[in-house]
Amino acid sequence: MDWQSWLIGIVGRALAFGTPLLWGTLGEIYAERAGVVNLGVEGMMVLGAFSAFAVAQSTGHPGLGILVAAVVGGIAALIHAFLTVTLRANQYVSGLALTMFGLGLAGLLGRGWEGIPLRQPLPSVTVPGLSKIPLLGPMLFEDQSILTYTGLILAVVLWLLLYRTRWGIVVRSVGESPATADALGVNVFLIRYLCVIFGGVFAGVAGGFLSVEYRPAWTEGMTAGMGWIVIALTIFAAWDPLQAIWGALFFGALYHLSYRLQAWLPPELLKLMPYAFAILVLAIAGLSGRKRGAPGALGVPYTRGEK
């Protein structure tokens, strides 16, 4: 088999499968950078997937579906923000509850929407001109999603925002040491609320991508665990939006390879390859001594006046 078709397949599929992972991870990075772990990604994604499908199907506008998915994801995240920031509930418990709530609610509302093909999926794009470049064209610019490209651009923008602007310093300081930020006059609660909601918006879009473009139909539980991969990728990316690109693409490539290589390697082994890789990365991160950029106050509710 010629290497070009392999390369085109691996990169092309990595971009497609990596897109929802990238969106989800970018959102989670911002929530965690502000100090709030949100294990509700799976729930927010599936709510996004359902609402995007329902809206796209009823209106015939897939773009509107994505927009509504973003809003729905944001609202779902608002619940998490209220519980963990205002009520100072345990972030892990609240996140898990959000996942179960999201899966249940989407399943309930989705009754009767199964088994219908989406009448107008989000069209894939082939970049004119660029797609004619040998090898690179079919690899990067043929039949890709507009959300793939916007996701990549946003990753760069979010990186600049986080590391090169005052606003980014504020977000990071809230995640590192909320008490210090508070003392300096930063509204810790507001920043945390905004970042968690921002994360929900991105998770919603990731879910919407799944139901109106990647596989244009609604089925209960269709995210099938992708939200958990997002949580792992957030750690893998060391809470850095640029590294999230590599994480999402690398995971996407491994996922594709786990099917391409079945003729040569045992499928059981290949099936666990992407996950084994995730564990390996976590182990290396742990052994390297530093916490690889984990925000200092990650997972800790902030109470004013406490040390």
Partner 1 sequence: MRRIGIITLAALAFLGLSALAEGNIKAGFIYVGPIGDYGWSFAHNEAREMLDQEFDWLETVYVESVPEGEVETFLDQLVAQGCNVVFATSFGFMDGTLAAALRHPDVIFAHCAGFKRAPNMASYMADFYQVYYLNGLMAGALTKTGKIGYVGAFPIPEVKRHINAFTIGAREVNPNAEVHVKWIYEWFNPAAAKEAAEALIAEGCDVFAFTEDSPTVVQVAAEHGLPSFGHYSPMYDFAPDYVVSGQLVHWEAIYRDFLKKIHDGVYTTQNLQHVDYWWLLSQGAVEVGAKPGMMINPVFEDALKAYVVDHPVFGKISVYDLVKTRYNQMADPGVTFDPFQGPVYDRKGNLVIPEGMWPSVDTLITLEWAVEGVAGPWPGEPEE
Residue 9 or 200: the one with the smaller Cβ distance to partner 1 is 9
The one segment of 61-69, 79-87, 126-134, 267-275 that binds partner 1 by CB under 8 A: 267-275
The one segment of 80-88, 152-160, 213-221, 294-302 that binds partner 1 by CB under 8 A: 213-221
CB of 151 to partner 1, least distance (A): 16
The one segment of 39-47, 148-156, 218-226, 239-247 that binds partner 1 by CB under 8 A: 218-226
Which amino acid is it at 123?
A: P
Binding flag, residue 3, partner 1 (CB under 8 A) = no
Binding flag, residue 219, partner 1 (CB under 8 A) = yes
Binding flag, residue 292, partner 1 (CB under 8 A) = no
Binding flag, residue 217, partner 1 (CB under 8 A) = yes
Residue 93 or 116: the one with the smaller Cβ distance to partner 1 is 116
Binding flag, residue 120, partner 1 (CB under 8 A) = no
Binding flag, residue 58, partner 1 (CB under 8 A) = no
Using CB under 8 A, count the residues that bind partner 1. 37
The one segment of 1-9, 73-81, 147-155, 175-183 that binds partner 1 by CB under 8 A: 1-9
3-state secondary structure labels for all residues of the chain: CCHHHHHHHHHHHHHHHHHHHHHHHHHHHHHHHCCCCCCCHHHHHHHHHHHHHHHHHHHCCHHHHHHHHHHHHHHHHHHHHHHHHHCCCCHHHHHHHHHHHHHHHHHHHCCCCCCCECCCCCCCECCCCHHHCCCHHHHHCCCECHHHHHHHHHHHHHHHHHHHCHHHHHHHHHHHCHHHHHHCCCCHHHHHHHHHHHHHHHHHHHHHHHHHHHCCECCCCCCCCHHHHHHHHHHHCCCCHHHHHHHHHHHHHHHHHHHHHHHCCCHHHHHHHHHHHHHHHHHHHHHCCCCCCCCCCCCCCCCCCCC
Binding flag, residue 108, partner 1 (CB under 8 A) = yes
CB of 149 to partner 1, least distance (A): 19
Residue 41 or 298: the one with the smaller Cβ distance to partner 1 is 41
Residue 268 or 306: the one with the smaller Cβ distance to partner 1 is 268
List, in order, residues 6 or more apart from 47 with CB less than 8 Å away. 69, 72, 73, 76, 102, 105, 106, 204, 207
Binding flag, residue 251, partner 1 (CB under 8 A) = no
> Residue numbers of the site for partner 1 (CB under 8 A)?
1, 5, 9, 13, 17, 103-104, 107-108, 110-111, 114-117, 210, 214-217, 219-222, 224-226, 255-256, 259-260, 262-263, 266-268, 271
